[in-house]
Structure 1
Amino acid sequence: MKAFLAVVVGMAALVFLRMVVQDHDNLFVAAEAVHAVGIAVLIYKLTKEKTCAGLSLKSQELTAIFLAVRLYCSFVMEYDIHTLLDTATLATTLWVIYMIRFRLKSTYMEEKDNFAIYYVVVPCAVLSLLIHPTTVHNIVNRVSWAFCVYLEAVSVLPQLRVMQNTKIVEPFTAHYVFALGVARFLSCAHWVLQVLDTRGRLLTALGYGLWPSMVLLSEVVQTFILADFCYYYVKSLVGGQLVLRLPSGVV
């Protein structure tokens, strides 16, 4: 039932965005802006509450990795507004990592953050070697591009594992993860609507083979990984609960 509702709501939101937003490229900028809002929530939590309880250091490290790789690709392949946005996001992510690893280490729930990151880094690296863009760029750049796309899709998994282990998610962590979910959906909507607007020509511009399909699949995977959590977040918000309690089996 939740999966059906997620598909219906997602389709309705796509139709709404297509009607309201004229330049669908702005959706990607909006996704970056929402991600920035999520980072701002983390900064407030870390500076004002002096605790990193409930946050996954491993998710932040994965985020820093794919942002660094994406920045490299952006500098050597296409320098634009996204480069500046990614630079700012990477800088704040590195600051969050520093706070968790050093300044607030005593509040870090290391035993709960037990997701082995090589479970996602290694498969993403192998997949990027097998399926990557077929553009005219250097092979290293094309593989790097694919790697950051795949890693971004699954970078939130350690954070979801922490929440699965604790079952109770305090407000600021919940707001941050919900912001990630919204950002992922906007990014996915950007790609889907761009494909529709160009009548599929965008996929051809990305190259041939499996790569164009993998780009879209990665965006969809990112969205649905967080869909379950977002459902309970909204349900909790409507119910007036300050602390989010997750039932067994969620995320």
Structure 2
Amino acid sequence: MNIFRLAGDMTHLASVLVLLLKIHTIKSCAGVSLKTQELYALVFATRYLDIFTDYISLYNTVMKLIFLGSSFSIVWYIRHHKIVRRSYDKDQDTFRHIFLVLPCLLLALVMNEKFTFKEVMWAFSLYLEAVAILPQLVLLQRTRNIDNLTGQYVFLLGAYRGLYILNWIYRYFTEPHYIHWITWISGLVQTLLYGDFFYYYFQSWKNNVKLQLPA
């Protein structure tokens, strides 16, 4: 494992911890899109189908369990915790995420590395992860009420994908025959979606003002 992969994993983990801190400690999910969290839960559920059949390493297994457990825990908190769910802005979080799921599934059936159930689900999880942040970004643009923890959560998610792109570049030049077009293109699309958010995030940090996205 290279430093870019490790940094990407730790940044991804940090994003989850920041969101759990907000929900569990403050008892609030204001500004958090349930639709995005449901999409991430589906991403991890379909990507880690091999968790009990293909052992790679203890680190790999632990990280899979963490992301699976945390994603479903966040969805449960927002949907069922009697205090947390009161702060959920259902009227603003109206993105029809089924219109992301179905095209990604169809694309996975057509474009995959091998036409088996696990490989199709793996491709589906990559395509879906690329666009899963969209409901969250739309919600932030609608409410324009971005607290520090929510802003840090989205920033860390974007940074994690950026670090993974560096990981892929490093592996391309250091490992023979390392070519994964589906992973690369999906990751690039996902990173580009954060472009607008990154711009306003760094502007707010530079000027020491509250983060706001244009309506």
* TM-score clears 0.5: yes
Could you report, residue by residue, the CA deviation over 1:4-44 in whole angstroms, capped at 9, with x for unpaired residues? xxxxxxxxxxxxxxxxxxx53x4223222111111111122
Q: Alignment partner of 2:178: what SS?
A: helix
Alpha-carbon distance in 1 for matches of 2:109, 2:54: 18
2 CA distance for matches of 1:87 and 1:27? 21
2:172 paired residue number:
195
The aligned residue for residue 130 of structure 1 is 110
Aligned with residue 159 of structure 2, among 154, 162, 182 = 182
The structural deviation recorded for 1:88 is 0.6
Residue of structure 2 aligned with 1:118, choices 98, 114, 127: 98
Distance 1:83 1:69, change over 3 A: farther
Percent identity (aligned)? 32
Verify: 1:87 aligned to 2:54, yes or no: no
Q: TM-score, structure 1 length as denominator? A: 0.79
State TM-score, norm by structure 2.
0.91
Answering whether residue 193 of structure 2 is matched by residue 217 of structure 1, we say no
- Letter matched to residue 87 of structure 1: L
Give 1:214 deviation, angstroms: 2.5
Give the partner amino acid of 1:245. Q
Where does residue 22 of structure 2 map in the other structure? 45
Native 8 Å contact 1:38 1:176 kept in 2 = yes
Post-superposition CA distance 1:38-79 (Å, at most 9, x none): 111112211232211100011111111111111113544553
- Let me know the Cα RMSD of the aligned residues: 1.7
SS of structure 1 residue aligned to 2:113: coil
- Which residue number corresponds to residue 170 of structure 1? 147
CA gap 1:47/1:244 in 2 versus in 1, 3 angstroms: same
The separation in 2 between residues aligned to 1:133 and 1:140, in whole angstroms, is 11
Q: Does 1:102 align with 2:69?
A: no
Give the residue type in structure 2 aligned to 1:220.
L
Structure 2 residue aligned with 1:234:
202
Instruction: Report if the CA contact (8 A) 1:28-1:186 is conserved.
Output: yes
Unpaired stretches in structure 2, ≥5 consecutive residues? none
Cα distance in 2 for partners of 1:223, 1:83 equals: 25
**Unaligned 5+ residue runs, structure 1?**
1-22, 204-211
Instruction: Please tell me whether residue 56 in structure 1 is matched to residue 24 in structure 2.
Output: no
In structure 2, the partner of 1:246 is 213
Q: Which amino acid in the other structure matches residue 178 of structure 2? A: L
Cα shift at 1:162 = 0.6
Q: Which moved more, 1:77-86 or 1:119-128?
A: 77-86
Q: Is the 8 A contact 2:123 2:182 kept in 1?
A: no
The size of the alignment, in residue pairs, is 212
* CA positional deviation for 1:198: 3.0
SS, match of residue 166 in structure 2: helix
Whole-angstrom CA distance in 2 between matches of 1:32 and 1:75: 21
